[in-house]
A and B are shown apart, each in its own frame.
Chain A
Amino acid sequence: DAMVIQNPRYQVTQFGKPVTLSCSQTLNHNVMYWYQQKSSQAPKLLFHYYDKDFNNEADTPDNFQSRRPNTSFCFLDIRSPGLGDAAMYLCATSREGGSLANYGYTFGSGTRLTVV
């Protein structure tokens, strides 16, 4: 089945130690998104790729970076995780010209990041 896969499902990292979360998709969607979701809050968009074009949200901290080496893969790098970065990180995809209004984005299962 075509899907969005996030690895790992759970990640524990030390305060200040760089960590990378990965996302892959078999849907051949050209847009990929990274969201941060903290408990009982709305998912917050960090950035998205439109093909290879990177779009950063204005309030995304510089501590968060992303790479998209090809259509299928996208990475979220947190350079120096703080305790406040503990959250669920969701990757999502969509296709330009697709039935976005009817189906929205396709999400992965998320990576829950714990910072110790």
Chain B
Amino acid sequence: DQQVKQNSPSLSVQEGRISILNCDYTNSMFDYFLWYKKYPAEGPTFLISISSIKDKNEDGRFTVFLNKSAKHLSLHIVPSQPGDSAVYFCAALGAGNMLTFGGGTRLMVKP
């Protein structure tokens, strides 16, 4: 049973526009949510996180929104740049400090 789901396997966006990546979860006990970015042939790198008691966290071009009632979070990238093209993983931090990952969304930003 997947506790963290990313229902869109891929997303294509024009450079300069907004990219919105979505993530849904089922476990209401998750404490934090994190987004990771992964380039081909590299390991995932941390991007941004949000506490379960907040509804928004912003870091430069990246903003994560959390809707607890809907058990949904989203990552907004504005403006999108070609270098943002990568696979983005949503992850949730729960009991025992274990991370549970979603299946990832491949973002392609076209020049």
Which of A's residues lie within 8 Å of B, judged by CB? 4, 6, 9, 31, 40-43, 45, 48, 90, 92, 94, 96, 100-110, 112
Contacts and interface: CB of A to CB of B under 8 A. Distances in A.
Contacts of B31: 101
Interface residues of B, number: 26
A4 B43 CA distance: 10
A103 B102 CA distance: 17
B49 A42 contact: no
A107 B89 CA distance: 13
Contacts of A41: 103-104
Majority secondary structure, A binding face: mixed
B31 to A, nearest CB: 7
B103 A107 contact: no
A107 to B, nearest CB: 3
Contact of B44 (A45, A101, A107): A107
Contacts of A109: 41-43
B18 interface: no
A42 B104 contact: yes
Contacts of B41: 9, 109-110, 112
B103 A104 contact: no
Contacts of B42: 109-110
Contact of B46 (A42, A45, A103): A103
B75 interface: no
B89 A42 contact: yes
B28 interface: no
B104 A107 contact: no
B8 to A, nearest CB: 12
B4 to A, nearest CB: 7
A104 B46 contact: yes
26 contacts: A9-B41, A40-B104, A42-B89, A42-B102, A43-B44, A48-B98, A90-B43, A90-B44, A100-B93, A100-B97, A101-B93, A102-B49, A103-B49, A104-B34, A104-B36, A104-B91, A104-B99, A106-B46, A107-B44, A107-B45, A108-B43, A109-B41, A109-B42, A109-B43, A110-B41, A110-B42
